[in-house]
Amino acid sequence: MKIIQRRAISVFLAICIVAGAFSVMGYASNGYANPEIITVSSYDDLNNLNKNVPVVSVNGLGCSIYKGLLTSESESDYVQIWAPPTDVITEVVALHGVELAASLITEDYDKLGTVLCEAMLPLFGELACDSNGVPNPDTGIKPSERTVEPALGYGYSERYQFEYDWRLDMHTIAAQLDEYINEVLEVNKADQVALTAMSMGSCILTTYLYEYYYTNPDYASRNHISAAVFVAGGMNGIAACGDPFSGNINIDSTSLMRMLAELWIKDDTMKVVYYMLELLYSAGLIDSVTDYANKVVDNTIDKLIDNGVLKTIGTIPGFYALMSESEYEACEAYIFNTDEKKAEFSGLLEKNRYYHDSVQSVNRNIIERLLDDGIKTAVIAQYGYTMAPITSDNNRMSDGVITTAAESFGATCAEVDGTLGDDYVQAVSCPCGKSHISADNQIDASTCAFADITWFAKNLRHTDSARFFANLIDLVVYADEQTNVFTYTEFPQFMVSFDDETLEPLTAENAGPDILPYEQTTLISKLIEIIEMLINFIMSITAG
C-alpha cells in the first residue's frame, strides 16, 4: 500500500512540476557529444580518383505526376495530381470533414468507411491504373525531366538522376532506365556507367540488373556497368507498405510517442506539445486513442479495400513492388480474396508476380554475380529510428520507413530502444578476425549477406542521403579494387550523424549513454524517479 501511495504522490508531483516548467522549457534532448573527427585516410584517394564514368542514380518514390500529357499544348499547362495540391486537400476536408468527425464520434463505422472512400477518390483517383496496372496515358511525369545533357564532370555529386513514373511496374521502368542509360553513354561518349539507387529505386535497379545483366546472355559484349550501390534500399520490402496493404496494422502508443519525440524534440514549439502528450501517455490516455484507432481500422478496412483502395492506389503496380515476398503473398490473399477479383485484376497480378517471383527472389544472387564479375558494389543501410507506427511490429530498428535488417540484407538488429545484450556474441565469425558489432551494441552486421561491403549510418532518416555518402560512393565507384568496410578509417562499417550534416565513425567514445526503453526516457519518468528517491529519503529519516 505504501508503494502505491508513493507512486501516486510521485506521479502527481511530477505532473505539477512538468506543467509549471512549460513556460521555461529548456529541457535538452537525448543527444550525444560531438567528438573530434578522426584523422582521415582517404583524402589522397579522393583527390586522386580517376572519375572516368558517369553516375546514374535512381531515387525513391515521389516524383510529381501530372495530367495533360496528351491533351495540353505545353508542359506549363499540365495539372499536378501527385502530390495532391493543397487546394484539392482543402476541398476534400471541407467537403467530408464534418461527416468524418461525426462518424468518429458516433462510432458509425459503416458511414465512416463510406466517407473515407469518398475522400480517397479526389485525392488519389486520377493516379489509378486500369485493371492491368496501366496508368491513364494522359498522366505521367514531364518529358523534360528525362532530358540528358553532356556532363561537366563525373562523380556522385554530379550524377544524373533518372526520373520515373513510380506507378508503373518494375519491368516497364527498367526498360525506360535502359533507354536513359544509353542516352547518358551516348552524349558523354562513355563505355560504362555507375548505377546507384535509393529506396524504391533499388527495386528498379535490381530489376534492371536482372534483365540487362544477370539473365542477359549478351551482356559480356556490352559490359556497360562499372558499379552498383544500394542506399537505404527497398529491394527486400518496405514494411510500412507491406503490412498495411495486407491488413497487418498495429497502432501502438509507445511507437507513436517515440516517433513524435524523434520529430519534435528538437523544435522549440513542438517540444512543448510533445511534453504535453507525454503527460497524457504517462497517464495511459494515449493508449485509449491508439486503441480506438485500431478499432476504427478493424471496422472499416474491408470497405476501404473494396470501395477505396481498389479504385485508387491498389491498382498501382509500383506499390506492390515495395513489399517483401511474404508480405506480397499475404497482401494478394488479403486484397484479391475472390476469384472475381483475381480474374478482373489478372493483368496487374501478373506484373506483381513477375517482380516478386523472378527478380526479388534472386536479388542476393544478382549481387553475388556483381562481386564475382569485379563490378564494384556497396550496400548502405540506416538506423536509429522507430518504424512508422502502422506495422505489425513497430519496435523494429529502422530509418523510419524501412527496417535496417531489410536494407542491409540481414543484419541482426536490436529493437529501436534496446541493445543486443551485454552477453551478446557475434553470430558469424569473420575470417578477418574483426568485429562486425556496432559500438552501441545495436547491430551485428556479421549476419548480412554481404557483411564486408555493408555500411551503416546511425541517426539518418529515410531521405536522399547525397550529402552524407557522396565521398564514400565515389571511393567505391572509382576504386581500382573493391572497397570494403575496413578500407578507410573515416568510413568504417558503422558511422553516425550528430548534426544532420556530416558523418563520422561510431566509436565506443561517442556511442553515447546507455540505450533505454522509451518508458524510461520520458521527462515524467525521470521526475518520478527523483521524487521517489526524495520520498524514500524523507521516510527513512522520519522512521529513524
Q: Which of 380, 448, 368, 452 is nearest to 412 (CA)?
A: 448
Q: Which residues contact 107 (CB under 8 A, 6 or more apart)?
A: none
Distance CA 62, CA 165 (A): 9
pLDDT of residue 544: 56
pLDDT of residue 241: 93
Q: Write down the H helix ranges in 54-199.
A: 86-106, 109-124, 170-188
Q: Which residues contact 201 (CB under 8 A, 6 or more apart)?
A: 57, 58, 59, 60, 233, 234
- Give the global pTM: 0.89
Place of cell 511474404: 326
Q: What one-letter code names the amino acid at 97?
A: G
Q: Which 3 state secondary structure label does DSSP give 286? A: helix
* 112-160 residue pLDDT tens: 999 999 999 999 999 999 999 999 999 999 999 999 999 999 999 999 9
Tell me the three cell numbers of residue 136: 491513364
376 beta partners: 227
Instruction: Enter the DSSP assignment of 27.
Output: P
Q: What is the DSSP string of 451-489?
A: GGGEEEEET--SS--HHHHHHHHHHHHT-SS---TTS-T
Residue ranges covered by each domain of the chain: 2-30+521-543, 64-140
Per-residue pLDDT of the chain (544 residues; tens, 9 = 90+): 444 433 333 333 333 333 333 333 332 333 323 323 333 478 889 999 999 999 999 999 989 999 999 999 999 999 999 999 999 999 999 999 999 999 999 999 999 999 999 999 999 999 999 999 999 999 999 999 999 999 999 999 999 999 999 999 999 999 999 999 999 999 999 999 999 999 999 999 999 999 999 999 999 999 999 999 999 999 999 999 999 888 888 899 999 999 999 999 888 889 889 988 998 998 899 999 999 999 999 999 999 999 999 999 999 999 999 999 999 999 999 999 999 999 999 999 999 999 999 999 999 999 999 999 999 999 999 999 999 888 989 999 999 999 999 999 999 999 999 999 999 999 998 877 789 999 999 999 999 999 999 999 999 999 867 779 999 999 999 999 999 999 999 999 999 998 888 899 999 999 987 787 887 777 666 666 567 666 776 777 776 5
pLDDT of residue 542: 72
Distance CA 69, CA 137 (A): 8
pLDDT of residue 18: 33
Q: What one-letter code names the amino acid at 294?
A: N
Hey, how many other C-beta atoms are within 10 angstroms of the C-beta on 270? 13
Q: Which residues contact 327 (CB under 8 A, 6 or more apart)?
A: 237, 239, 241, 242, 243, 245, 246
pLDDT of residue 464: 64
pLDDT of residue 500: 80
Distance CA 66, CA 135 (A): 12
pLDDT of residue 524: 64
Q: Classify the C-alpha dihedral 453-465-462-271 as positive or negative.
A: positive
